[in-house]
Structure 1
C-alpha cells in the first residue's frame, strides 16, 4: 500500500490558480512557422511535379492543411500556470507532455522573438533549469511558444525574482571572498554596462564560427541549386565570365576563385554579425540580473541572476587576437553553458571587442573595481614549454615525412618542400601556447589562462569552487607536472590549470578551499605542501 505524501508536498496543488492559454495569435503564427520549414519541399514539388500533373497541387494543399491542423491542436492543448513553487506546462494531444519545474531551480530566462513572432508581438520564453536534466523529470527547462511581449517580460521578472536557495550556494569557500563590491545596489532603472559599437564589425570575418556559418549556408544554397537542376555557369553574365577565365592562365583563374570565395565569406560574416548583434545591450536590471539583448530578424534576451554568477571568461581567438587585438567576455553562471569562443552563444556578454574593453566588462559584470581577468599571472614550469613543443613538433614531423613520401609516389615534387612550413608554424603555436599559460589566486578569484587558437582567461570566484580533481598522465609524470581541475556548478563545470608543479596545484587547492584537502593531510590542518 502506498504511503501518503508528506505534508511538505501539499503546497504543490493549487486548484485556485487558473491555467493560462497561449494567445489566439498563435493560430496564425504556429501554422506559418510550420509552412516556412516546408519551403524547400514546396520548391522541389513545384519544379519537378510536372506542369500538368495535379500531384504537386494536392501535395501543397495537404502540407498546408497539416500545418493549420497542427497549429490548432498545439494552441488548443497547450496551457501553463505559475504557482508559488513551480512552473507547470501541459501540452500535446496524442503524445501528452506534463512538465513541472521548481521555481527555485530556475537558472535563466531567455526571450526569443523571430521575425514572424515580432509581426504579431509575441515572444518565446525559454526557462532554463540547469545543464543536466532528463526529459520529463523535474529540473528540466521548458519553453512557452509563444506569449505576448508584455507577458514575456512579466514572466522574466517574476521567475528570476526567486531568491537562490541555500542548497544552491557553494558548499565550500572562505567567507572573506564576499566583499561589498558583490552586494547588489538598489536601483529602479536598468544600468547600461555595454552597447554595440559598429567598430566591432572588423572582427566579424576573423571568427571561425562566423566563417563556418557562412560556409554552411553556402553549401545549403548550392545543394538547393543542384536539386533544382540549375547550372550557375549558364546564367547571364556568369557564362561570359566563365568563358574568359577558361582562356586565362591557371594562376589567374585560381586567384579569381580565391578572391570570390573570400568576398563571399567576408560579406556573409558581416551580414551574420549584424543580424546576431544588432541593437546589442548589456544591462544590470533592478531585479538583480545581468541581461543581454541583441538580434535583428531574431531578437534575443538572456537574463542571468547575479546570485548564480560564479565567474567570467575572456576568450581571444587567434585571428581576432593577432589582427584586431580583440576578445569577448562571457559569464560563468549556474545552469548556463560556458562561452569559450566568439560565437555569440552560451554565456556571451558581448560581441568581439577590443581586448581592454572585454576585460573591463568582465570586471564590471563581477562588480569589481579592480581588473579581474587582465592581471599578471604566475608562469608555468619549463617542463610545460617542453611538452607544448613536443606535442606540436612531433605531429608536424610525421606529416612532413608523409608529404615527402607521397610526393615521390604521386610525382608531386613540390609537396615535400611546401610541407616544411608546418614545422615553424608548429613551433610558433607551441611557444604561444606556453606564453598563454598562467594562474593566479587573490582574495576573490582563482584565475587561469591557456590556449592559442582560442586563448581563454577564466576568473572563478573562490566560493564558486566546489571541488578539485588532480590528473597526471604518463607523460606528465615523466615531466613532473599535473593538471588541476577546479570543479564548479557553472559554465563547463570544470576549468583546468594545465601542467603545473604538483606542489603549486596542492597549494592552490588548499588556499582556495582550505577544508577541501584536510582529509588527505596528516593532522587535518597542515599547510605544508608535499
Structure 2
C-alpha cells in the first residue's frame, strides 16, 4: 500500500465490472423475446436501448471513478468523491471497529473487492471503497485493524469453527431460506408468464389437475413445493456458507469468512462483544440444530434480505456445535445455557390460555363452514380439535423453554417457541432495568424483567417471573444499580 498521505484512486476495472453487470441480463432477455415470438424490430429496439443505457452508465461510472479517491493517514481515513457536487468525508482511525471485504463473482473475475469500513455506531454511514484490487483490500483491512502495542486485547488467536459439509443439511429445516426460494420461484414464474402462456403450460397443468384424483392433485403439488423449497434452501446455503471459517485474530478481532460465488470477510471487534445468543427456530430445533449469534454494540438487527446478518457467527449446525462455538467466543469452558431456573406455574397458565385463544379463529372458521354445508361436521370437529391441541401444545412448549440464571459474569435468559433464544449477556454490559407488567400479569403477580444494553436489540427479557423474585434477580445481576429504588419488606 502507498504512503499514508498519498491520495489513491480506486481500481479502474470497476468501470468494466459495472458494464458486465449491466450487459449480462441482455442475453436472457433477448432469448425470452425470441421464445415469445418477438419480431426483429422489437429485438433491435431493445438491444439498441440496452447498449445505449450501458454506455451511458459506463460513462457516468468512469466519471465517478475519476473524481473518487481515498487516503489512509496515521490518524484518519479520508474519502473524497463527486464531479459536480464534491464531498469529502473523514473517519478517525481510533474509531474504526470493522473492516469487511466482499467480492461478488464479477469482482472476483476481475480481481477486485469491496472494502467497508465502519465505526460500529448505530445509524452512522460506513466508508465504502467499491473497486479495490484484492491484495490492496487485504492490506487495508490488516492495517486498519492493527492494534497499538498498548492494547490490552488478548494476543491469542486461532480457528474457532470451520464448516462441515453435513451441516448444510440443516438448512433444509430453515424456514427463512425455504420462503426465499419460494419467493424467487414465484418471481421467476411471473417474469416468464408470457412464455409459459405461449406454450400452453398453464392450460396443460389445469387439465392434469382436473383429471387427477383430488388427493393426488393437491398432494403432489404440495410435495413438490416442499421438496423444491428444501432443495433450493440447500443450494442457497451452499452459496452463503461454503468455505465458512470463524477465527480469532491476535488483534482482538473475530473474523467470519464465507461464500461460494460471492465471498465475504466480516470482522467483529471483541471489545464490542457483550454476549452470545443461541437461536433455535422451530423447524431447526426439531432436527437438533441451532445458530450462534453475537450480541455486540453497533451491529444492525436487520439483514439485507439476501444475506445473513453480520451478527451470525455460525450457520445452522448441530446444537452441541453451536453451544461449543458460543462458549469459545465467550472464552468459557462451556456455554452457560444449562441449569436454568424455571418460571412459576402462572406463566404456564398464561401461555396455555394464549395458545387456546389463538386456536379459536380456526375452530370458529371450521364450525362456520360446517354450518354452511361446505365441510362435513366430523372433519370440522377434527380441525377444531387439532387447532386447540396445537395451540395448547405451543403454550406448554413455550413454558418449558422459559429459564434464567446468573452464571459468573453472565446473565442467562431463555425464551420462545417459534424461535427459542438462549442469551448469555455480560452483566457489566447492562446499563439499566425495565419492569413491564400488563393488567393480567399484575393479577397473577408476574413481571417481565428487561435488562437494557447497548448491544443487539437493546434489551434482554426475562418474562413472567414473580415480582419479588424479579427484583432480587435484577439486584443480584448488577449490584447497586437498583439499590436506591428498593425498600426492604418486613416478613413479620
Q: Find the counterpart in structure 1 of residue 337 from structure 2.
A: 374
Q: Distance in 1 between matches of 2:412 and 2:301?
A: 16
2:117 and 2:471 mapped to 1: Cα distance? 39
Higher deviation after alignment, 488-497 or 244-253: 244-253
CA distance in 2, matches of 1:483, 1:244: 55
Distance apart, 1:100 and its partner CA: 3.0
Greater alpha carbon shift after TM alignment, 288-297 vs 485-494: 485-494
Q: Rate the CA distance shift 1:375–1:22 in 2: closer, same or farther, 3 A.
A: same
Q: Distance in 1 between matches of 2:222 and 2:105?
A: 34
1:205 maps to 2:169: no
1:105-144 Cα shifts (integer Å, max 9, x gaps): 33322211101111112111122333532xxxxx422221
* CA-CA distance at 1:70 after TM superposition: 2.5
8 Å contact from structure 1 (residues 107, 334) kept in 2:
no
Provide the residue aligned with 2:356 in structure 1: 393
**C-alpha spacing 1:517/1:150, structure 2 compared with 1 (3 Å):** same
- The 1:382–1:151 alpha-carbon spacing in structure 2 relative to 1, beyond 3 Å, is same
112-121 or 335-344: bigger deviation: 335-344
Distance 1:241 1:38, change over 3 A: closer
Does the aligned pair in 2 maintain the 1:130–1:140 contact within 8 Å? no
Are the equivalent residues in 1 in contact too, given 2:398–2:417 (CA < 8 A)? yes
> Partners in 1 of 2:185 and 2:112 — Cα distance?
31
1:1-80 to 2 correspondences below 5 Å: 17-36=5-24, 50-53=39-42, 54-80=44-70
Listed as ranges, the matches of 1:231-242 within 5 Å are 231=197, 234=200
Q: CA deviation at 1:419?
A: 3.4
8 A Cα contact 1:32 1:67, kept in partner = no
Trace 1:217-228 onto structure 2 (pairs within 5 A).
217-226=184-193, 228=194
Range 103-112 or range 336-345, more displaced: 336-345
1:327 aligns with 2:290: yes
Q: Is the 8 A contact 1:436 1:451 kept in 2?
A: yes
Aligned-pair RMSD on alpha carbons? Answer: 3.1
1:357 aligns with 2:321: yes
Alpha-carbon distance in 2 for matches of 1:385, 1:361: 32
- Greater shift in the superposed pair: 423-432 or 46-55: 46-55
1:440 aligns with 2:413: no
Within 1, Cα distance between the matches of 2:141 and 2:372? Answer: 65
- Structure 2 Cα separation of the partners of residues 492 and 515 of structure 1: 24
- Check the 8 A contact 2:4/2:71 in 1, yes or no: no
- Larger CA deviation: 432-441 vs 395-404: 395-404
Asked if 1:424 is matched to 2:389, the reply is yes
Look up the match of 1:305: 269
In the other structure, the counterpart of 1:270 is: 234
Q: 1:490 to 1:84 in 2, by over 3 A?
A: farther
For 1:365 and 1:122, how far apart are their aligned partners in 2?
Answer: 31
Cα distance in 1 for residues equivalent to 2:66 and 2:216: 62
Gaps of at least 5 residues in structure 1 are 1-14, 134-138, 167-182
Q: Which has the higher contact order (CA 8 A, sep 6+)?
A: 1
Bigger Cα displacement from structure 2, 356-365 vs 146-155: 146-155
Alignment correspondent of 1:230: 196
Provide the rounded CA distance (Å) in 1 between the counterparts of 2:165 and 2:5.
47
Alignment equivalent of 1:479, drawn from 426, 431, 444: 444
How far the C-alpha of 1:146 sits from its partner, in A, is: 2.2
Following TM superposition, by how much is the alpha carbon of 1:153 offset from its aligned partner in structure 2, in angstroms?
1.6
Tell me, yes or no, if structure 1 residue 402 matches structure 2 residue 373: no
Query: What pairs with 1:440-479 in structure 2 (closer than 5 Å)?
Result: 440-479=405-444
CA–CA separation in structure 1 for the residues paired with 2:117 and 2:110: 22
1:149 matches 2:134: yes
Q: CA deviation at 1:94?
A: 4.3
> Aligned equivalents of 2:438 and 2:463: distance in 1?
12
User: Aligned partners of 1:58, 1:95: CA distance in 2, in Å?
Assistant: 31
State the partner residue of 1:173: none
Residue 465 to residue 408, structure 1, CA distance change in 2 (3 Å):
same
Residue from 473, 476, 480 that aligns with 1:508: 473
The 3 A distance-change label for structure 1 pair 57 and 327 is closer
Length-normalised TM-score, structure 1:
0.83
Distance in 2, matches of 1:513 and 1:403, equals 51
Gaps of 5+ in 2: none
